Structure 1
Amino acid sequence: MQGTLPLIKTKLIVPGIQDQWIRRAKLSKKMKAITEKPLTIIQAGAGYGKSTALALHVKDQNQSCCWYTITSSDDDILPFLSYLTAAIQTLFPNFGHELITYMKKMDRYIREEELSMLSSLFINETLQIPEKIIVILDDFQAIEHSYHINVWLEKLLEHMPGHLHLVIATRTKPGWRVLAKLKARNELNEVSKTDLIFGKEEIELLLSDFHQISISGDQLDQLYNITEGWVIAIGMIAQRLPHLQSLDELLAEPAKSLEDLFQYLVYEVFSKQPPMIQQFLEQTSIFEELSTDVCDHILGMNGSIQMLEQLTAKNLFIQQIGGSSSGIMLFSANSSRIG
């Protein structure tokens, strides 16, 4: 393992959270199941509060955990395992010595038997820890394409020590075959966008209790229709309200008041997509609703159903309508729909 860079220690720290966050009983119940199941997957698109919900749960439960915020530079098995080992060492300093020794002897060309050895060493060293271990992998979508990391994690999940609880926060659900087995055994805890979005009562509570803003029932309905409970959109609207004459000003033209949100999405999501997906999103941003017919005939595409399915699976600016291949564009250039 030649030329290793120093680890960035801030990636191993639980993110700080603001006090302006509502505790929700249904979500809290699912988060508490983290210590009851071997694997928890928290899956939703950008800005739905996955990291915040996890950090809040850790704080409220006063729970010790090994936190690792993943970045795109960690998309190989050796840097990934180096950070994962360091995360566990924040609570258990003696963990990982055999694993690290073995990794230092490896080169960049990983063989299948080496992945098995890395998995065995990790599991065996985990068994030497006499207490419960909660490992949180945040922003897993940054390395979801890594073959070696996915193979290693599947090997781990096949032989998970009973006291190890793995939490994965991601925008895209992993395609691991072992998930079906875990689900059948009731060993998989899943938190989805549905669990993270705000309902009307929660939006009203957030505005009244934390921002001292009172709104009418009609305004609440409009605000909910604009955001569809999307946490980041609600937060940005709440920050914007004190600078407006009235809420009606925002409701009339919500897109003008959410420029920061658009910039966030461009930086955090759009700019990180492959050129083909960027081009497709740009070409279709004029539409509020999409279908395979629109893409194939108006845009002159072939096989657009695969692209629409990929965007839906990745939670990229599109929401599926029913079970069809049609979808609503959530980030269209001419739309006031921000959900």
Structure 2
Amino acid sequence: MHIGVPREIKVQEYRVGLTPSSVRDLAARGHRVSVESGAGAAIDFSDDAYRAAGAQVVATAAEVWAAELIVKVKEPQPVEYALLRPGQILFTYLHLAPDPRQATALLQSGCIAIAYETVTDTHGGLPLLAPMSAVAGRMAPQVGAYHLMKPQGGRGVLLCGVPGVAPARMVVLGSGVVGSHAAHVAAGLGADVTVLDRNVERLDLLDRELSGRVKTIIANAATVEQCVVEADLLIGAVLVPGAAAPKLVSRAMLRSMKRGAVIVDVAIDQGGCCETSRPTTHADPVFVVDGVVHYCVANIPGAVPRTSALALNNATLPFVAALADKGWRRALADDPHLRRGLNVCAGHLTHGAVAAALGQPLVAAEDLL
């Protein structure tokens, strides 16, 4: 199969869909891989490294998008919509629930769009979202601590405190991959950490992993409001696979928060879990509402693109190989977990949560294989 790897064009996005080592594996399986020139240059994956791995390095995006299977990191940008075509396989992060414009473009293109974030595993996890969630979770206390500094508009509170002065209060909404990684890092730094979730089993696991160094609380309307108001740093780590994130933090709650408190809304890819959140970029990452600093970068792992690209490829390569070896119909028929990644197929929405969020009709993936 002909596989294309475009250069990412989203603002300050330097990750790449396939690393040279992944290209080498695919080329060894007999596949033709075209990589757009400069696709990995920002993270020291040179064109020569791709050539040595067996790729054809091409000069233009149009040459890459001529491939049968496109492997990216972020969703296609508006200027890329016209490059999609019927029957073409697109394998990338999509996050369609809060993005009706992109969904419409994919539907109109007739392509086969498979989203990393809804591929599942035998344990009920999201194996292609997990590595980037781990990166984002570990980064969240770091960027939150930075923006808590007074010159950045924050309260002027040190995350870990000092002897005789209490540490910052960090509240995490959600104890999944993002939330648990954020809690581990923040606890290691010495913050006063509280994690809220509706799942008592996950809270119990986190409590045992951290030997009681974080407080765990069952999430309900009252506990969320109380903890949000008390927070110096709030991490939004809520995920409903494929669906828009629930708005747990209202504008009214925001008005009761401390002046200079910081929100890091990692759920922004799915619309954010705060009523006042809107997507930002690494170039302009924060804004202030009612005295509260909002960090809502939609591609947080893009700040550490080499680590992120390597971690992502570790997870995605087996699925890329399956799609290339078998074609999309057989690959999805053989693997129900990869089939859960199918969001758009030949003009139809095929993921229930996405269709519900967009108010569009659903067609079962099985009916289109």
Instruction: Pick the TM interval, shorter chain.
Output: 0.3 to 0.5
Q: Determine which structure has the larger helix proportion and give its number.
A: 1
**Higher RCO structure, 1 or 2 (CA under 8 Å, sep 6+):** 1
Could you tell me the TM-score, scaled by structure 1's length? 0.34
Q: Which has the higher strand share?
A: 2
